[in-house]
Structure 1
């Protein structure tokens, strides 16, 4: 689904979930937890029915690494590159509404993959999935992929607030409890460090570009130019600046509030780097440091995350 119809469906599920325990808000499939508010086992079971196109624009990011923000950037850049006027943009949005397309591959009903065949190119495809769970056709067709990461500590704090806001965890669950679940992979999409380790295997692929939330926050103009060049989006300096304006935190919040105020409040909270210091205890910080050093620090992707800069006091 999309926009208002997706919002209405999610709000209905949200009301139902608020009356249940968190176990009813999540479900286990193929070794990983998923949010029942947007996912269902039937869709996950047939993910490989998705047919990728060579010209698809694919965005991958673990939950709460900034995927909604960057997805909107890609949408704006693709529109600018396609030179769509307001009427064409409206028609493309109406097509999404008409086909009831969920924004992420793993979201929505199993019939969505047939409906996605009717979308015009270039399609913007999004997912939170780890590589071995992504549809095979994406790796076979080799469309260009943007893989997004964020420092593990900020990701954890953002994920906690999001999970609270969307009732994916009990209201009484503390940060300490959530941190234990997060670091041990007992949250939706599994352990974040596993994603770093697995995606590191693709870091030298020509059709895969890696970027970080921090890099985009530090110099959004430069980051957008790199993304536009990678996807061969034909955009001007003005297009870049317009994209920055349309994807500011305020603009994203305002747009989100028009569709689903509850989700927008959880999705677009602070949008800053370094918020991890608001919740992490010294012991938790050291535990994350130890895990990262042990599993990911020595990888190329691990080095790209600049852990010592963003995750050390």
Structure 2
């Protein structure tokens, strides 16, 4: 099926229509934040599920109850998706934890008024492309990726769900109130998960013993998350996501793009990246 059949064009970006009906987008636009809310922000396939595991464990002081009993889409729900409308988020005790894939300029008015804390996760876009290519092929609500060369072209032009990776990252890097935003990369988390957990806890003003930090980091290892049915999307019916084609939690590594892209495709990607990111001063781990 085509973009016109499966997607809604919302504020210039494609959204899967089945997950983002008009009433859920209206709910998002009218949502009222609290100052102590925690918002996980990512471009898709950049470490969202990982952070949806880490943050609740930090907030609970290492108690695994929520990550063992609640699917991640209820535990730390996407505010723009239809599910948010039925979870009574207004009744949840503080600090509430949410997720969004939206750009900074797509945030609702309350976000800019209240200024909740944001954890923004970035990932090497070539790995984002690789992960997206496999993921798109498993779902019924996304346009099939087609040949890799075609998908590469769409990805670089922002003609995929949630639009351009470049616009998403640059928009959040240029956001105001940076003292309320923690920037962290997927690659940093892979290199030193314990340090990453400790830094996230500090940002969230949670004082955790070293032993608790180690316990959380150990529980959030990829191989353990892959076994957690509340996090590995095994609860999603096959008609929506067929994980026999590719697991949602596939490899959890950095640099898999080297096994996916041809030399010419990687060179083309690098050229586009260099041009689109030429004015960005932030130092990414993968540069």
State the TM-score, normalized to the length of structure 1: 0.80
Counterpart in 1 of 2:95? 122
Counterpart in 2 of 1:311? none
What's the CA shift string for 1:113-153, capped at 9, x where partnerless? 8x210111111111011001112212211121111100110
Deviates more, 1:225-234 or 1:246-255: 246-255
- Structure 2 stretches of 5 or more lacking a match? none
Q: 1:47 aligns with which of 28, 38, 62?
A: 28
Matched length: 278
Deviates more, 1:152-161 or 1:254-263: 254-263
Shift of 1:253: 1.8
Answer whether contact 1:60 1:147 (CA < 8 A) is retained: yes
Counterpart in 1 of 2:217? 244
Matched, 1:165 2:138: yes
Shift of 1:203: 7.3
Shift of 1:239: 1.6
Deviates more, 1:290-299 or 1:49-58: 290-299
SS in 1 for 2:195: helix
Counterpart in 2 of 1:34? 15
SS in 2 for 1:165: coil
Counterpart in 2 of 1:176? 149
Say if 1:268 and 1:229 are closer, same or farther in 2 by CA, change over 3 A. Answer: same
What's the CA shift string for 1:258-277, capped at 9, x where partnerless? 52375575420000000001
What's the CA shift string for 1:284-310, capped at 9, x where partnerless? 212221222112143133x2x2343xx
**Aligned 1:74-223 pairs, distance under 5 A:** 74-80=55-61, 86=65, 89=66, 93=70, 103-108=77-82, 111-112=85-86, 115-167=88-140, 168-170=142-144, 173-202=146-175, 205-223=178-196
Say if 1:85 and 1:60 are closer, same or farther in 2 by CA, change over 3 A. Answer: closer
Answer whether contact 2:187 2:285 (CA < 8 A) is retained: no
SS in 2 for 1:260: coil
Q: 2:236 aligns with which of 249, 254, 260?
A: 260
- Structure 1 stretches of 5 or more lacking a match? 1-19, 309-313
In 2: Cα distance, 1:92 partner to 1:279 partner? 35
In 1: Cα distance, 2:278 partner to 2:177 partner? 17
SS in 2 for 1:27: strand
Matched, 1:276 2:252: no
In 2: Cα distance, 1:295 partner to 1:193 partner? 7
Shift of 1:45: 3.5
Counterpart in 2 of 1:6? none
Counterpart in 2 of 1:228? 201
State the TM-score, normalized to the length of structure 2: 0.86
Say if 1:120 and 1:92 are closer, same or farther in 2 by CA, change over 3 A. Answer: farther
What's the CA shift string for 1:66-100, capped at 9, x where partnerless? 1111121001111117xx685xx599959x99xx7
Matched, 1:66 2:47: yes
Counterpart in 2 of 1:306? 285
Answer whether contact 1:40 1:109 (CA < 8 A) is retained: no
Answer whether contact 1:22 1:170 (CA < 8 A) is retained: no
In 2: Cα distance, 1:110 partner to 1:247 partner? 25
In 1: Cα distance, 2:216 partner to 2:68 partner? 20
Considering fraction of residues, name the structure with more helix. Answer: 1
Answer whether contact 2:233 2:248 (CA < 8 A) is retained: no
Answer whether contact 2:53 2:67 (CA < 8 A) is retained: no
What's the CA shift string for 1:197-229, capped at 9, x where partnerless? 211212771111100000110011111111100
